[in-house]
Amino acid sequence: MLNLVLFGPPGAGKGTQSQKLIEKHGLIHLSTGDLLRSEISQGTELGLEAKKLMDHGALVPDAVVIGMISHKLDANKDAKGFIFDGFPRTVAQAEALDQLLASKNAPISGMVALEVNDDELEQRLLLRGKESGRPDDANPEVIRKRIKEYNDKTAPVAGFYKAQNKFKSINGIGSINEIFDAISGVIASY
């Protein structure tokens, strides 16, 4: 079973690369950002609470996203594997994910981190904001808050996987296909 964590700051290309990886490997894509946006568009209570935090660039509470992931793992028992995109985003989420996967005897194969500098991230997200109307991509101040949240709370998750010898970092700047080839090279080494 291939269980891949795609890691990187907001706008690093996790969602973009996930789409190509699920086509090639037939994996289930678990994006906590997409799951939260789906709750928002359905107007659920969870979505209404999450929207307040997301619109300001803050992370949603761990218990909420861990519950969503647990539910999706249970709903896809026969999957060939999973791509975790935007999850785990805190060390508490990483610990919870290890526990969930241990009970299924299907540990994380590895984490691939996409390295992109802050200026490039801001440009990509502002462009997506213009094209998609995503509220958290529209305002430079909110984008900077998301990058700060990443540096404060998410970056330490890399250490969690380094300690398990499961961490690989690649350059996230270049064409989408070049980056995909680099990720594919890492997967081939598992």
Member of 65, 112, 113, 147 binding ligand B4P (CB under 6 A): 65
- Confirm or reject binding of residue 13 to ligand B4P (CB under 6 A): yes
**Nearest distance in Å: CB 85, ligand B4P:** 6
Look up tokens 């979505």; give the residue.
47
- What is the C-alpha separation between 151 and 46, in angstroms, rounded? 26
Q: How many CB atoms lie within 10 A of CB 77?
A: 7
**Parallel, antiparallel, or unpaired for β 2-7 and 28-31?**
unpaired
**Nearest distance in Å: CB 146, ligand B4P:** 5
- Confirm or reject binding of residue 179 to ligand B4P (CB under 6 A): yes
Member of 86, 94, 109, 160 binding ligand B4P (CB under 6 A): 86
**Nearest distance in Å: CB 151, ligand B4P:** 13
Look up tokens 């994380």; give the residue.
108
- What is the C-alpha separation between 176 and 29, in angstroms, rounded? 18
Look up tokens 């307040």; give the residue.
52
- Confirm or reject binding of residue 135 to ligand B4P (CB under 6 A): no
DSSP class of residue 80 equals S
Residues near ligand B4P (CB under 6 A) are 8, 10-16, 32-33, 36, 53-54, 57, 59-60, 65, 86-87, 89, 93, 124, 128, 136, 146, 176, 179
